[in-house]
């Protein structure tokens, strides 16, 4: 099994604009109602663009990249018979750490959940972390019972793996919270799934997208501490949108020209 290394760099990869949810607080423009956002309806990365980005990351010397796939809803991405799990496998086999953010709807079906995780484990030995957005704005869990079909199916599938393989597939629930102290998920729900290894973390609503209309509910947030930066090592966090690399909201480079950003990797 591959050693669990800590990434030195992170890249968010926006796979597509499409989403099958229409959340009131949507912060990432899944329905295209924000003219100032770089992702618009119809946007989608191609397989070749994704493979170029993976190749660029893994070719940099003295680096270990976490490629985090987002959307829209990344489980909706497909091209010529390939889907998200093929991207995750290609990322792992190229020598990077794959993760992804999802609303969890793909995992409502047990057979599909089984096929997704077994295909990954049969073709890669790198840890794969699933981040599921599940909060009081979504309808992807039962608010009366504090249970979620996606989490139940993932846990059921994990039981089909031996312990060493099960440990490669952690799941973390991202909870969007507001200024309301009761805006997080029920404690009983966290404890129930937490006892089986699923972790939970509050994340503040961001002042972007439709969340701008909910400004009075936005909590204070200073952001995560920055990753350490060594001179010449380039930006530790990038975002790929189409053929452009971004740092924050600033376009900083072009796909296929990543070495321009990392002088000590040449």
How many angstroms separate the CA atoms of 6 and 35, rounded? Answer: 37
Asked if residue 76 is part of any domain, the answer here is yes
Asked if residue 3 is part of any domain, the answer here is no
Quickly list H helices, 95-231: 110-123, 149-158, 163-166, 187-194
pTM: 0.91
Cα-Cα-Cα-Cα dihedral sign, residues 232, 236, 240, 245: negative
How many angstroms separate the CA atoms of 207 and 245, rounded? Answer: 22
Closest by CA position to 100, among listed 122, 118, 120: 120
Helix (H) or strand (E) holding 100: strand 97-102
How many angstroms separate the CA atoms of 165 and 173, rounded? Answer: 20
Asked if residue 83 is part of any domain, the answer here is yes
Quickly list H helices, the chain: 47-59, 84-94, 110-123, 149-158, 163-166, 187-194
How many angstroms separate the CA atoms of 132 and 135, rounded? Answer: 10
Asked if residue 138 is part of any domain, the answer here is yes
Contact yes or no for 170/197 (Cβ under 8 A):
yes
Query: Beta strand 9-14 with 237-241: parallel, antiparallel or unpaired?
Result: parallel
- Torsion angle in degrees (nearest 10) through CA of 203, 205, 210, 212: -160
Asked if residue 103 is part of any domain, the answer here is yes
Number of domains present in the structure of the chain: 1
Contact yes or no for 106/48 (Cβ under 8 A):
no
Let me know how long the chain is: 266
How many angstroms separate the CA atoms of 14 and 45, rounded? Answer: 8
Asked if residue 4 is part of any domain, the answer here is no
Q: What is the CATH number of the domain that holds 101?
A: 3.20.20
Enclosing domain of residue 256: 9-265
256: Cα separation from own chain's centroid: 22
Distances (CA, A) of 161 to 122, 178, 218: 11, 37, 41
pLDDT in 10s for each residue of the chain, 266 residues: 345 678 999 999 999 988 898 877 776 554 445 556 677 778 999 999 999 999 999 999 889 999 999 988 999 999 999 999 999 999 999 999 999 999 999 999 999 999 999 999 999 999 999 999 999 888 899 999 999 999 999 999 999 999 999 999 999 999 999 899 899 999 999 999 999 999 999 998 877 767 777 777 878 765 555 666 665 567 888 999 999 999 877 899 999 999 899 876 54
């Amino acid at each position: 099994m591959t050693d669990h290394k800590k990434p030195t760099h992170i890249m968010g990869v926006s796979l597509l604009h499409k989403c099958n949810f229409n959340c009131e607080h949507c912060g990432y423009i899944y329905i295209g109602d924000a003219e100032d956002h770089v992702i618009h309806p119809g946007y989608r990365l191609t397989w070749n663009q994704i493979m170029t980005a993976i190749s660029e990351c893994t070719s940099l010397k003295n680096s270990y990249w976490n490629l985090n796939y987002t959307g829209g809803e990344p489980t909706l991405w497909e091209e010529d018979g390939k889907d998200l799990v093929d991207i995750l496998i290609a990322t792992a086999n190229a020598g990077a750490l794959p993760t992804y953010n999802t609303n969890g709807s793909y995992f409502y079906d047990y057979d599909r959940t089984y096929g997704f995780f077994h295909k990954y484990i049969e073709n890669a030995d790198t840890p794969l972390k699933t981040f599921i957005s599940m909060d009081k704005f979504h309808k992807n869990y039962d608010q009366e019972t504090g249970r979620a079909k996606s989490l139940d199916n993932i846990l059921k599938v994990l039981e089909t793996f031996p312990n060493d393989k099960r440990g490669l597939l952690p799941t973390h629930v991202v909870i969007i919270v507001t200024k309301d102290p009761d805006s997080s998920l029920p404690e009983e729900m966290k404890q129930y799934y937490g006892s089986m290894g699923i972790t939970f973390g509050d994340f503040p609503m961001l002042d972007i997208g439709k969340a701008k209309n909910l400004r009075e509910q936005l909590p204070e947030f200073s952001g995560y501490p920055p990753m350490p930066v060594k001179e010449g090592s380039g930006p530790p966090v990038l975002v790929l949108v189409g053929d452009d690399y971004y740092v924050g909201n600033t376009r900083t480079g072009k796909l296929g020209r990543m070495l321009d950003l990392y002088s000590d990797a040449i």
